[in-house]
């Protein structure tokens, strides 16, 4: 059946949206430091814009510390500038050839801000999923109008499409709930 191909075709797109959302969640700080909090921060270096992970080794020697070790000392100034400009409002400190970032304990106010950011990222993911669904629905309607899909198949396609979107929305909800618990505790 023609409509099943359309429904199957959207699954990789929806998977990409969920993966992107998952990667965005890694950038939202919980109580534990992780390299993912800073590795994708863009650094202006040598007239190029490069992610930090391409310019330095990033590790977490302690629960609330991130250690950035640039592969070349000439990157240090640019890395510091990028870290200070990042939306995470980090306070990097240069220690010899390394940059240490100590994350303060999460205050109640900061937790609320993180939860708000999490909610925004969740909404972005849902919008991305909805956009993919609407494109598939539009294609199904066009094929119905051209006679390639019957009216009965159109309504079956709508049901199948809704099942797919529901399963991907559930994945987004599960990821969100897990991250919320990490932020709250």
Joined tokens for residue 56: 């330095």
Least confident window among 46-50, 85-89, 103-107: 85-89
pLDDT in tens, 10-21: 999 999 999 999
Distance, in Å, from the CA atom of 113 to the CA atom of 91, rounded to the nearest integer, reads 18
Distance, in Å, from the CA atom of 40 to the CA atom of 29, rounded to the nearest integer, reads 14
Token match 């100590």: residue?
Answer: 102
Please give the average per-residue pLDDT across 40-58, as a whole number. 88
- pLDDT value at position 87? 65
Higher pLDDT, 48 or 170: 170
| 161 within 8 A of 7, measured Cβ to Cβ | yes
- CATH class for the domain made up of 2-26+107-184: mainly alpha
pLDDT at 29 over 80: no
- Confidence class for position 58, pLDDT limits 50, 70, 90: very high
Asked if the domains at 2-26+107-184 and 35-102 fall in one CATH topology, the answer is no
- pLDDT value at position 1? 62
Q: Coil, strand, or helix at residue 34?
A: coil
Domain boundaries, the chain: 2-26+107-184, 35-102
| 31 within 8 A of 60, measured Cβ to Cβ | no
- CATH class for the domain made up of 35-102: alpha beta
Joined tokens for residue 173: 């909800």
Tell me if the pTM is above 0.85.
no
- pLDDT value at position 63? 82
Please, what is the average pLDDT of the chain?
A: 88
pLDDT in tens, 98-133: 999 888 777 888 888 888 989 999 999 999 999 999
- pLDDT value at position 165? 94
């Amino acid at each position: 059946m023609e409509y099943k191909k359309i429904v199957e075709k959207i699954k990789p797109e929806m998977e990409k949206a969920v993966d992107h959302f998952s990667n965005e969640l890694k950038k939202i700080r919980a109580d534990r430091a992780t390299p993912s909090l800073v590795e994708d921060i863009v650094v202006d270096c040598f007239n190029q814009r490069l992610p930090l992970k391409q310019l330095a080794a990033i590790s977490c020697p302690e629960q609330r510390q991130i250690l950035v070790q640039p592969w070349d000392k000439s990157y240090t100034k640019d890395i510091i500038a990028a870290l200070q400009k990042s939306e995470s409002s980090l306070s990097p400190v240069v220690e010899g050839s390394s940059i240490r970032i100590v994350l303060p304990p999460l205050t109640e106010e900061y937790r609320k801000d993180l939860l708000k950011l999490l909610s925004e990222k969740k909404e972005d993911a849902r919008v991305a999923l909805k956009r993919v669904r609407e494109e598939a629905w539009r294609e199904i309607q066009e094929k119905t109008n051209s006679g390639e899909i019957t009216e009965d198949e159109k309504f079956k396609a709508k049901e199948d499409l809704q099942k797919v979107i529901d399963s991907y929305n559930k994945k987004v909800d599960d990821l969100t709930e897990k991250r919320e618990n990490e932020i709250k505790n």
